[in-house]
Amino acid sequence: MAGIRSYYSVLPLLRSKAVSRTTKIRVYKTTIRPVVLCGSEAWCLTANGEENLRIWERKVLKKIFSPIYVAGYWRSRTNEEVRQLYGELDIVTEIKKED
């Protein structure tokens, strides 16, 4: 999948502490997500495929919205926290909207 390749090509940037979260989101919106959306035009999305896309997008967004330090330990953000921080439609909704 081209989306996975584009994700791994910018992964060092997404992991970097020197790059702001705003820049990381901009990179996701301009380089990774359009590749997936372009490829999705020929897909017949099943329920399993939709769930896999949502999982993949959450993985990318959790990399952007890195773990937080709470009460003496690091924890990963919950899916709901990531959804609220991103504040936009998920990728499956975006694909269905284009139809």
Expressed as residue numbers, the domain containing 69 is 2-98
Q: What is the pLDDT of residue 98?
A: 65
Q: What is the CA radius of gyration of the chain?
A: 14
**Into how many domains does the chain fold?**
1
21: nearest Cα among 74, 95, 82: 82
Q: Which amino acid is at 32?
A: I
27 phi/psi in degrees, rounded to 5 = -65, -40
**pTM of the predicted model as reported, rounded to 2 decimal places:** 0.85
Q: Which residues contact 43 (CB under 8 A, 6 or more apart)?
A: 49, 95
Q: What is the pLDDT of residue 94?
A: 86
Low-confidence ranges of the chain (pLDDT < 50): none
The CA distance from 63 to 51, in Å, is 18
